[in-house]
Amino acid sequence: MLAVLSLLLLSFCGSVRGVFQQLYCTLSDSCDCDFRPNIRGLEWDLYKNVFGQHLAQDVVSEEVARFLANKSPDRPLVLSFHGSSGTGKTLVSSMLANHLYGSAMSSPYVHQFVPTLHFPSPHLVHEYREELKSWVQGNLTECARSVFIFDEMEKMPPGVIDVLEPFLGPAHVVFRTNYRKAIYVFISTTGQELIKEVTLQNRLAGREREDIKLSALQDRLAQAVYNDSTSGFFQSSIVQQRLVTVLVPFLPLSRCHVERCVHSLLCQTGSCQRSDVVEAVGGDMTYAPAQGQYFSTTGCKAVAAKVNFFL
Ligand SMILES: Nc1ncnc2c1ncn2[C@@H]1O[C@H](COP(=O)(O)OP(=O)(O)OP(=O)(O)O)[C@@H](O)[C@H]1O
Ligand SMILES: [Mg+2]
């Protein structure tokens, strides 16, 4: 009897504590919600494990560090990743979330959306907008330090994402929830042609890849994204009002980067010394454009399957 009573008391205390904790989180907005940012770890991971993406490495580390250093930011951090398939966009978004929360990507405060799964029908834009708005609002009320990742934005029906406009601007403290502490990451292949073109011109001019500056791409990329009718950001007020903190270009990968991906994968399975496999996979990829064959058409995406084949 005593044991049952103690159990009841414990569970009651637990739920009361839970309610108080949630109330405290909501009102104080200083609750950490499992938030354990490790900026050094993020920087290290980006520099060690992401190949050929100097812009993404620099921009993501700098912007995240700057954003988190400010205890009361005046707007959320909004990053938009652009580039062709297999260049590391999803990889970098996972690294970011991994180094922000104690429970990494499985944290309940990391929310991932995939349009083909969550917003499959272009006829349901109105319904999706309502759902998305209340989902974001609800989660930010629970934890101001939430991360929202929208992958494959090129498959998002245009019009849905604009419902987030009020959350991305500077003036939003509603029901005492601070909406400015959130991080949003949008990911798409939109703008890949422009990025490929700039990288190709740079290469043909004999310049180093690292000579490509963010400023050379920022405005043109915003324009390309805004004008692409197949993009979830087509004519979006989020882009028009410059609510995206920074558009992050992911450059097409060359054979040397693909080979680094192969080498890294081999090392994870204890086969670091298999330079024959590195060579074989590097040589088995398709490269474009026809003249020069500078860039892997699938980035590092098919690497894992090819390593298994040649190993
Ligand atoms: N720059 C890179 N450095 C290291 N590994 C990479 C890089 N790019 C891609 N990879 C590896 O290749 C695979 C595919 O990468 P990822 O899923 O990040 O591509 P993506 O840019 O999101 O492509 P998609 O647009 O098709 O979704 C992953 O296993 C990832 O680890
Ligand atoms: Mg991806």
Q: For a ligand 1 pocket test, name from 49, 55, 81, 87 the mutation site with the most ligand atoms within 8 angstroms of its C-beta.
A: 87
Domain span holding position 139? 39-250
Of the candidates 49, 47, 89, 52, which has an alpha carbon nearest to the alpha carbon of residue 209? 52
Contact predicate 278/262, CB 8 Å: yes
Look at residues 227, 250, 273 and tell me which one is the last residue of a structural domain: 250
Question: Kind of pairing, strands 287-288 and 77-83?
Answer: unpaired
- In the predicted model, is pLDDT for residue 11 greater than 60? no
- In the predicted model, is pLDDT for residue 247 greater than 90? yes
- In the predicted model, is pLDDT for residue 273 greater than 80? yes
Query: Measured between alpha carbons, how far is 40 from 211 in angstroms, rounded to an integer?
Result: 25
100 and 199 co-located in one domain: yes
Q: Quick one: angle between helices 275-284 and 255-268, nearest 10? A: 140
pLDDT at residue 120 in the model: 94
Q: Which amino acids bring their CB within 6 angstroms of ligand 1?
A: 50-53, 85-91, 189, 253, 261, 299-301, 303
Model pLDDT for residues 167-187, shown as the tens digit of each residue: 998 765 565 667 899 999 999
**How does the average pLDDT of the chain come out, rounded?**
89
61 and 103 co-located in one domain: yes
301 and 205 co-located in one domain: no
Model pLDDT for residues 209-228, shown as the tens digit of each residue: 999 999 999 999 999 999 99
Distance of CA 200 to the CA centre of its chain: 25
pLDDT at residue 32 in the model: 64
Burial class of residue 38 in the structure, from the number of CB atoms within 10 Å of its CB (0-12 exposed, 13-18 middle, 19+ buried): middle
208 and 267 co-located in one domain: no
Distance from the alpha carbon of residue 196 to the mean position of ligand 1, in angstroms: 16
